[in-house]
Structure 1
Amino acid sequence: MTLETKKNVFVELGRFLSQFSENNSLKNPSVLYNEIFFEAFIDLIQLSQSHNGWYTPQQVYFSIQSWAEALTEENLDEWLSGYDLENNKSKNVALILAGNIPLVGFHDFLSVLITGNTVLIKTSSNDQHLLPFLAKYMIAVESEFVAKINFVDGKLENFDMVIATGSNNTARYFEYYFKNKPSIIRKSRNSVAVLNGSETKEQLAALGEDIFRYFGLGCRNVSKLFVPKDYSFVPFFEAIFEYQDVIHYEKYANNYDYNKAVFLMSNFKLLDNGFLTLKEDKSHASPISSVFYENYENIAELENRLEEENEKIQCIVSNNLIQKSISFGQTQKPALWDYADNVDTISFLLTTN
């Protein structure tokens, strides 16, 4: 299968995904195999919450639209232009996927296949249905993919390299179990935002998207704020008020009530707006429904600290206060070349033979 053929299949997958949105899914008659997959995919989206309570239709549609926007011919060409994909020796690559947000492992899946390798996939118990469905669509478009895509229920065997994603605890197990295989082992990471008080209401509202998208379950969700001393959180709370409906979702509300109670019983001082608590804490990893914050005195010193802690941080959001930070509201819209943990997956797949 040529590189051009593989790219065309993913572009067609992007066209298929572009039909689906929360407010109005419209069938495009020019999209291949809609007669088989269109209604079935809508049914799967509606059923996703029964498979994983955090996978509400709203969150699944957002993930689908993000991938529809990413999987264009222009994006694929730009992403792959710096690599030599023609001489790669095909390998069997095992993927152990997380399930914290919908289709969280799709980029690894895409990377393995676009480089001409065969993928062996062990899905998370929290996300067992979406990726296999998309794989079936791809196989319908190009039958040669049937030999390249394998979902594994039991033990992973006969693989040459592995990409595994999990918590810090499971990462230690992965590192031991796969010590004799070339591997990328992804651990827990969090994202942070750096504020200085000059942010507009629109920017702070966009920060709410970085906090609340996927209920805060992704490594790209902002879970920690760095603010100057005597920073007023009033504009922040006013700007994120538009996200108040999150408290009407039972699983989120249960976490809000529980974590708030734990904090209060421990006599922690909290800022609270009825659907989000702010707690002063040096950790980057806050629980669902809470964001930690910490004061800083010098932006240069903070930037040095964040650089030292880069292995714990996935994204930094700011209004150009920190080098290589990203804009408010963009954490859950990574480009194809925005690699998790800043590890170039394509280079790994190409150079390890």
Structure 2
Amino acid sequence: MSDLKSRVKAFVKLGDFLGKFCEYADGVNPKQDALSTFFMELDEVITLSGHKNGWFTKENILHSLKSWSIVLTDNNMTDWLDNYTIEVNKEKTIAIIMAGNIPMVGFHDILSVLVTGNKALVKLSSNDTVLLPFMLKYLTKMDTYFKDKLMFTDEKLTEYDAVIATGSDNTARYFEYYFGKKPNIIRKNRNSVAVLTGEETMEQLEALGEDIFRYYGLGCRSVSKLFVPKGYDFELFFTSIYKYNTIINQPKYANNYDYNKAVYLMSEFKLLDNGFLMLKEDESYSSPIASLFYEEYTSLDILKNKLKHDAEKLQCIVSKGVSENEIDFGKTQSPALSDYADGVDTVEFLLKI
């Protein structure tokens, strides 16, 4: 038996561990817990994860772990959960179908299920099979309550009370067919955009590079499109993001850059290209890897209405003084605990089952 306070405490300990590990990995305090069994094991897990998925570089995994260490504090957890009435209810089993586009992408769902006193039945993505099981192992070490509360399976999902599934627009139709009779959260494709006015500083545009290039643009919080005023001069933008030019040294990214550039050139599309990122004028939101779509606007008011109309397609809007729910430059990849995917409150959903 475990109460909410105990469950929160275990996650806070996990956050503290991840923070210390990131310091150790960054060489800030190399002697600190260097001989810890969990430190050595997490080192091995990160290496194995990179071997299994070439997009999961050590830098990006550490960024994810550090982001979680920042939010998994007692104050943050308390502030987040104070918005709900979490009582001792009958335990439910929640099936979670994971995405695997970026490291630890489904951890928030696991956190939400476990902290509300439910069981998680997890079907991992083949792209991310080792990071999350390690987190469970550490949680169980901190509190044995979690030992039989989180189960991973490769089999067909059975014996569950509700479903949280994350995938594409195509897989969402499959999920709705198979899981539609159960309470569910089914997530589809979402993209993030940035609205530029031409008044941005070099510092803001440099920070925007983090929103574009972190995780190679594979996340729903990665900026995949720019809205710019008609006649916008991209010179300052390209100058500001040049610090990210080493991304082209990543083989998988470079292969996508070469392939997409060839496709664009054969189709005779007009491109703006700086050697590691291509800009293409396009009305779509989802741009291929190593490219960024842009669209000109003549009126901010008209653009605001368009973004409002397309809200269900968007995860984040990066801007300054343009959108009601805007995110500051450079902050899309550092969500708070209350920043729910697709804007659906996972905890509220779980408490109503």
Same fold (TM over 0.5): yes
User: Does structure 2 conserve the Cα–Cα contact (< 8 Å) formed by 1:226 and 1:296?
Assistant: yes
The alpha carbon displacement at 1:89 in A equals 2.6
Q: Which runs of 5 or more structure 2 residues have no equivalent in the other structure?
A: none
Matched, 1:129 2:133: no
Q: Is this contact kept in 2: 1:168–1:187, CA < 8 A?
A: yes
C-alpha distance in 2 between matches for 1:348 and 1:37: 34
Instruction: Tell me by how many angstroms 1:182 deviates.
Output: 0.3
What does residue 36 of structure 2 align with? 35
CA–CA distance in structure 1, aligned partners of residues 187 and 30 of structure 2 = 37
Deviation at 1:87, TM superposition (A): 3.8
Is residue 23 from structure 1 mapped to residue 26 from structure 2 by the alignment? yes
Q: 1:78-120 deviations in whole A, cap 9, x for unaligned?
A: 0000101014331000000000000000000000000000000
Provide the TM-score with structure 1 as the length reference.
Answer: 0.97
Measure the CA separation in 2 of the matches of 1:42 and 1:8: 24
Partner of residue 262, structure 2: 261
- In structure 1, the partner of 2:230 is 229
> SS at the partner of 1:267?
coil
Give the Cα separation in 2 of the matches to 1:171 and 1:211.
25
Shift of 1:133: 0.4
> Does the 8 Å CA contact 2:88/2:117 hold for their aligned counterparts?
no
Report 1:275-294 matches (<5 A).
275-294=276-295
In the TM superposition, structure 1's runs of 4+ consecutive aligned residues that sit over 6 Å from their partners are none
Structure 1 position 18, deviation (Å): 0.5
Contact kept, 8 Å, 1:19 with 1:25, in 2: the verdict is no
What is the root-mean-square deviation of aligned Cα atoms in Å? Answer: 1.4
CA–CA distance in structure 2, aligned partners of residues 240 and 136 of structure 1: 39
CA distance in 1, matches of 2:337, 2:291: 30
Number of equivalent positions: 350
Task: Note if contact 2:49-2:129 (Cα within 8 Å) is conserved in structure 1.
Answer: no
CA contact (8 A) 2:80 2:338 kept: yes
Instruction: Indicate the SS of the match to 1:125.
Output: coil
**Equivalent residues in 2 for 1:1-353 (5 A)?**
1-21=2-22, 22-24=25-27, 26=29, 35-352=36-353
Aligned to 2:15, the other structure's residue is in SS state helix
Partners of 1:104 and 1:251 in 2: CA distance: 20
Which shifted more, 122-131 or 36-45?
36-45
Between the aligned residues of both structures, percent identity stands at 56
Could you tell me how far apart the structure 2 residues matched to 1:222 and 1:18 are? 26
How far, CA to CA, are the matches of 1:336 and 1:209 in structure 2? 20
Q: Distance in 1 between matches of 2:279 and 2:65?
A: 31
1:6 CA drift (Å): 0.1
Distance 2:339 2:183 in 1: 22
Aligned pair in 2 of structure 1 residues 325, 28: CA closer, same or farther (>3 Å)? farther
Superimposed CA distance per residue, residues 238-263 of structure 1 (whole angstroms, 9 cap, x where no aligned partner): 00000000001110000000001101
Unaligned 5+ runs, structure 1: none
Using the TM superposition, give the Cα deviation of residue 25 of structure 1 relative to its aligned residue in structure 2, in angstroms. 6.4
What is the rounded CA distance, in whole Å, between the counterparts of 2:300 and 2:70 in structure 1?
35
Q: TM-score scaled by structure 2?
A: 0.97
Range with greater deviation from structure 2 (92-101 or 142-151): 142-151
